[in-house]
Structure 1
Amino acid sequence: MTNTITTRRQAKARAMELRAEARQQGKSLSHARALEAVAHELGYRDWNTASARLSNQPEIPLQVGERVTGRYLKQPFNGRVHAVRELAGGLGFEVTLHFDEPVDVVEFESFSGLRQRVSAMVSEDGVSWDKTSDGIPHLIVQREETFLV
């Protein structure tokens, strides 16, 4: 696992794994000691060094200009990332997308509501917390190469 750690978020997840493993063995491992252990696994002197080095790696799942695909208000789209902003504390991201073709977000046949540029707050997995009345996320977005929606 340690050879795939490139971000602080991944390193902290590894520290939680180490703590869980210690608990299963009936041992106690503080969060600080787990972070130090992860730093050593990665070849760093201590957690502060590892954290400083890893913090230079991007943790944003989407980059400006990147091709994306997904669903907006249940409608499929392809487009580009126009803007990305990390929300406070790394809770998620505000993304602005520009669709290649406008998406009709109205389900009624009597009129249309076309959208070509939208903004939404999403988790690091690219799924919005806001949902339609039937529980479907407003936005599901991911890189075009890894489309799984």
Structure 2
Amino acid sequence: MSATLPTLVEAKAQAKRLRTGLEAEGREISHSQSLELVARQHGFRDWNTFHAAMGNRPPEGFTPGGRIEGTYLSQPFAATVLAVEMLRPGWFRLELDFDEAVDVVTFDSFSNFRKRIRGTVGPSGTSRERTSDGTPHLVIEI
């Protein structure tokens, strides 16, 4: 078994990368097969056992007082996490206090700065909400 277990989000991302990598080599496997392989890589007999061992811990930094970085409305930020709530496995509502206020308006003759925000991010660290060009509102570096 690994000394430190990944979070559920990280383990699922590993499985996705494994599946994509194998597909690129012409070896297709199902999503569940990739999860089982990742569990075995970490020394567990199957995904269910691995999942139970990991628990539903949030990614590193997703705790009150934790430090995270990312982009909000395409603007880079560093922030302190004020509050976190798990909505369902892999999905977290975060309240963030940016180190520096972020201008959330792209119009040249108008600005609107935000220092605190609330946002929900999923397993990949991105929000479901998107700008008109398809960019996620909130992206957290995981």
Is 1:126 aligned with 2:131? Answer: no
TM-score by length of 1: 0.61
Moved over 6 A (4+): 46-50
Deviation (angstroms), 1:142: 2.1
| 1:72-129 alpha-carbon deviations (Å, 9 max, x no partner) | 11111111111111113x1411111110111110111222111011111111221111
Is 1:102 aligned with 2:115? Answer: no
SS of residue matched to 2:98: strand
Deviation (angstroms), 1:5: 7.4
Residues 123, 4 of structure 1: CA spacing in aligned structure 2 closer, same or farther, 3 A cutoff? farther
SS of residue matched to 2:133: coil
Matched ranges for 1:1-149 at <5 A: 3=2, 6=5, 9=8, 10=11, 42=43, 53-55=53-55, 58-64=57-63, 65-88=65-88, 90-142=89-141
Q: Which structure has more helix as a fraction of its residues?
A: 1
Deviation (angstroms), 1:63: 2.5
- Verify the 8 A CA contact 2:68 2:80 in the aligned structure 1: yes
SS of residue matched to 1:3: coil
Amino acid at match of 2:99: D
SS of residue matched to 2:2: helix
Residues 47, 79 of structure 1: CA spacing in aligned structure 2 closer, same or farther, 3 A cutoff? closer
Residues 52, 69 of structure 1: CA spacing in aligned structure 2 closer, same or farther, 3 A cutoff? closer
Runs of 5+ unmatched residues, structure 1: 18-23, 25-30, 144-149
Q: Taking every aligned residue pair, what percent have the same amino acid on both sides?
A: 36
| 1:25-56 alpha-carbon deviations (Å, 9 max, x no partner) | xxxxxx8xx97xx68x8478x9987665443x
- Verify the 8 A CA contact 2:80 2:98 in the aligned structure 1: yes
* Inter-partner Cα distance in structure 2 for 1:78 and 1:8: 22
* Inter-partner Cα distance in structure 1 for 2:131 and 2:98: 20
SS of residue matched to 1:130: coil
Residues 62, 123 of structure 1: CA spacing in aligned structure 2 closer, same or farther, 3 A cutoff? farther
* Inter-partner Cα distance in structure 2 for 1:124 and 1:4: 22
Runs of 5+ unmatched residues, structure 2: 20-26
